[in-house]
Amino acid sequence: MENDSIQTTAQHKILWFVMRAYKCEGKAEERLSGDGGLDYFIPKHYALRSYHGVKSRRLVPVIPSLVFVRASRRQLINFKKDNNFLQYVMSKTSGGNEFLIVPDDQMSNFIKVASQLEENLTYFKPEEIDIKKGTKVRIHGGPFDGVEGVFMRTEGVRDRRLVVLLEGVMAVSAKVHPDLVEVLK
């Protein structure tokens, strides 16, 4: 009886799920933002693209088909009944039988950094960066006010940068003035 109440609570807890919308990010964005839609985030950046021989600067997803959706499992199941284009990303650490979920605090820090489109951001795969080499910090002021991450050197850049990691998914780094950095213990 107690186990049933725990499962029911888990079904209704709102989490950030990592999902794929294979070859249809536009469709995913349209349906997720429409009536009965869910909170979502698609990390994007500006890139030069050539369409019909004309080069232009366009806002495109950083990783094609990657979508972060904030909902409960029950809400996602109901949403997927009508919209089967979204697929769960499974966790590699659990042997592939658990959904990949990002904690709220990591996701809010990541969104705050990744949504600064005009900043010079660099994205990494989790295995490309070793956050143990950095210092845990919080930023005070500027566009990244309140963001917690790791202050460290990254490949290809001379100065130290703020790195926000989504464990098992990706990391983003941004240049931050050292005067805005508070070292955390």
Buried b (16+ CB within 10 A) or exposed e, 89-111: bebeeeeeeeebbbeeebbebbb
This prediction's pTM: 0.86
Query: CATH number for the 1-102 domain, one of 3.40.50.720, 3.40.50.920, 3.30.70.940, 1.20.81.30?
Result: 3.30.70.940
pLDDT tens sequence across 69-113: 999 999 998 988 888 888 888 887 766 678 899 999 999 999 999
Buried b (16+ CB within 10 A) or exposed e, 52-76: eeeeeeeeebeeebbbbbbbbbebb
Kindly state the tokens that stand for 52. Answer: 């019909």
Residues of the chain with CATH 3.30.70.940: 1-102
Kindly state the tokens that stand for 30. Answer: 């349209």
